[in-house]
């Protein structure tokens, strides 16, 4: 959420920046500024009323002690009057604040100056491409065929137990998942990220803290009996560690990594893009999260991108880095780099990581602050990224490394799987 003080002082800048998202903010911004003005005026008047009421209450108390009953009673009239007025003012103030809050919820984060204008993912800027696309043999197959042929993943069995999008991993398929958990966590902790295993279910307050609620309620699985939600990503429980927290400046940055399953309803998604592992309702992911000092959050973002590159290099997967354009940028993000691997049999790029700087947009909702040199609490910057999401990594690994003899496992990962070849 953007800060109203900032909007008030930078009206034109806010509108101009949001135009990069093709978001016409003028009307909302002006309404918000108007409401904010009303809010402050109401607040001042109310405060003055309450102030007078407080001093009258004290006077009455004093008069009672002195036994001046009549004088005290006389003052009660004024007190009742003030009470009536204050009640009305309080209602106006609450309404105004609610309306203002609703407007602010509608405004997405301001894109960083480097974000290109654009409408769809076709307008994203390819920052770099790395690695060679492998040449596959003639009988090469997409990963869902390979998974079946080698007995790694059973999609139909998942349908029986749960439904579409909940695959069952078996044998080397399951072992590969376990290897990825350890591979990613070991790499992240070596970079100073604190290994963190959070709850996989969150309460409502946490959902609001990172912005899944109220807007994206339909995207999470909801356990209504207890009013809890299954996490769509580890970002939610981990970032919420810092909800309502004031850190000391020298405690920054805080770095966490966590492995969790992720649950996404993805309502309305179907078609060939969702075949196999391309899009699931439950998948595994290792996440990296940083709570950063605003002055170096962009340097932090760069280190996170660099870190994920090292993972993809170790996995020997061809990949590219995209700078998301305004139209494709997430609601809460100021700058996002997507990492895509090339899946050779499907002949397409698959997103395996999305690394974002939210600046203080999330922090404002979370109320996560740090105390600067002047002693005043200021909002932190939050960042996170996948490092990495498993299913599409597995898809690319299977497709790119298939040979007539079997599926080769990259050396760095073979240390974790215990095998360097998947055979029938």
Residues contacting RNA: total by CB under 7 A: 32
Residue 5's Cβ-count burial label (10 Å; 0-12, 13-18, 19+) is exposed
Taking the complex as a whole, the smallest distance from the CB of residue 88 to RNA amounts, in Å, to 12
Assess 54 for contact with RNA (CB under 7 A): yes
Window 16-45: residues binding RNA (CB under 7 A): 36, 39-40, 43-44
Q: Locate tokens 């660099």: which residue? A: 306
What separation in angstroms does the CA of 220 have from each of 73, 413, 415? 58, 32, 35
Taking the complex as a whole, the smallest distance from the CB of residue 57 to RNA amounts, in Å, to 4
Taking the complex as a whole, the smallest distance from the CB of residue 40 to RNA amounts, in Å, to 4
Window 374-393: residues binding RNA (CB under 7 A): 376-377
Taking the complex as a whole, the smallest distance from the CB of residue 14 to RNA amounts, in Å, to 17
Taking the complex as a whole, the smallest distance from the CB of residue 360 to RNA amounts, in Å, to 13
Span from 74-82, 235-243, 294-302, 382-390 in contact with RNA (CB under 7 A): 74-82
Q: Which is nearer to RNA, 342 or 370 (CB)?
A: 370
Q: Given candidates 9, 16, 27, 64, which one binds RNA under the rule CB under 7 A?
A: 64
First to last CA, the chain: 52
Residue 317 CB coordination number (10 Å): 27
Taking the complex as a whole, the smallest distance from the CB of residue 294 to RNA amounts, in Å, to 15
Assess 7 for contact with RNA (CB under 7 A): no
Q: Which of 286, 384, 292 is nearest to 335 (CA)?
A: 384
Assess 83 for contact with RNA (CB under 7 A): yes
Q: Given candidates 79, 106, 191, 313, which one binds RNA under the rule CB under 7 A?
A: 79
Assess 62 for contact with RNA (CB under 7 A): yes
Assess 48 for contact with RNA (CB under 7 A): yes
Q: Which of 158, 244, 151 is nearest to 206 (CA)?
A: 244
Residue 51's Cβ-count burial label (10 Å; 0-12, 13-18, 19+) is exposed
Q: Which is nearer to RNA, 55 or 189 (CB)?
A: 55
Assess 47 for contact with RNA (CB under 7 A): yes
Residue 405's Cβ-count burial label (10 Å; 0-12, 13-18, 19+) is exposed
Span from 77-85, 208-216, 330-338, 398-406 in contact with RNA (CB under 7 A): 77-85
Assess 58 for contact with RNA (CB under 7 A): yes
Taking the complex as a whole, the smallest distance from the CB of residue 93 to RNA amounts, in Å, to 9
| Site track for RNA across 235-274, x = CB under 7 A | -----------x----------------------------
Q: Which is nearer to RNA, 50 or 136 (CB)?
A: 50
Window 343-372: residues binding RNA (CB under 7 A): 369, 371
Assess 70 for contact with RNA (CB under 7 A): no
Assess 65 for contact with RNA (CB under 7 A): yes
Span from 76-84, 231-239, 274-282, 381-389 in contact with RNA (CB under 7 A): 76-84
Q: Which is nearer to RNA, 53 or 188 (CB)?
A: 53
Assess 61 for contact with RNA (CB under 7 A): yes
Taking the complex as a whole, the smallest distance from the CB of residue 367 to RNA amounts, in Å, to 8
Chain residues that interact with RNA, rule: CB under 7 A:
5, 36, 39-40, 43-44, 46-48, 50-51, 53-58, 60-62, 64-65, 76, 79-80, 83, 227, 246, 369, 371, 376-377
């Amino acid at each position: 959420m953007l800060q109203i003080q900032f909007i008030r002082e930078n009206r034109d800048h806010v509108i101009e920046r949001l135009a990069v998202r093709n978001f016409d903010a003028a009307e909302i911004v002006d309404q918000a500024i108007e409401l904010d003005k009303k809010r402050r005026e109401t607040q001042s008047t109310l405060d003055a009323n309450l102030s007078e009421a407080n001093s009258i209450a004290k006077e009455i108390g004093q008069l009672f002690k002195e036994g001046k009953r009549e004088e005290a009673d006389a003052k009660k009239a004024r007190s009742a009057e003030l009470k009536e007025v204050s009640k009305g003012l309080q209602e106006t103030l609450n309404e105004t604040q609610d309306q203002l809050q609703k407007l602010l919820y509608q405004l997405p984060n301001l894109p960083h100056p480097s974000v290109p204008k654009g409408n769809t993912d076709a307008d994203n800027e390819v920052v770099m491409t790395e690695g060679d696309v492998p040449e596959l043999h003639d009988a090469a197959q997409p990963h869902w065929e390979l998974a079946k042929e080698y007995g790694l993943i059973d999609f139909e069995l998942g349908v029986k137990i749960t439904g579409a999008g909940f695959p069952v991993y078996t044998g080397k398929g399951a072992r590969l998942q376990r290897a990825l958990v350890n591979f990613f966590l070991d790499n992240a902790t070596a970079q100073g990220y604190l290994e963190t295993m959070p709850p996989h279910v969150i309460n409502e307050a946490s959902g609001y803290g990172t912005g899944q609620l109220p807007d994206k309620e339909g995207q999470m699985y909801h356990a209504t009996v207890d009013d809890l939600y299954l996490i769509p990503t580890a970002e939610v429980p981990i970032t919420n560690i810092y909800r309502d927290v004031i850190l000391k400046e020298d405690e920054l940055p805080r770095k966490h990594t966590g492995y969790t399953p992720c649950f996404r309803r993805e309502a309305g998604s179907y078609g060939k893009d969702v075949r196999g592992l391309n899009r699931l309702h439950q998948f595994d992911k290792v996440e990296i999260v940083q709570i950063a000092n605003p002055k170096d959050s962009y340097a932090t973002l760069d280190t996170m991108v660099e870190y994920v590159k090292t993972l993809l290099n170790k996995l020997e997967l061809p990949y590219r880095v995209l700078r998301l354009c305004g139209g494709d940028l997430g609601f809460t993000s100021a700058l996002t780099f997507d990492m895509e691997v090339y899946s050779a049999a499907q002949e397409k790029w698959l997103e395996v990581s999305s690394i974002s700087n939210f600046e203080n947009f999330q922090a404002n909702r979370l109320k996560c602050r740090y105390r600067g040199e002047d002693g005043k609490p200021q909002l932190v910057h939050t960042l996170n990224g996948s490092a990495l999401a498993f299913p599409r990594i597995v898809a690319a690994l299977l497709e790119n490394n298939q040979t007539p003899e079997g599926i080769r496992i990259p050396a760095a990962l073979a240390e974790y799987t215990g095998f360097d070849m998947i055979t029938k």
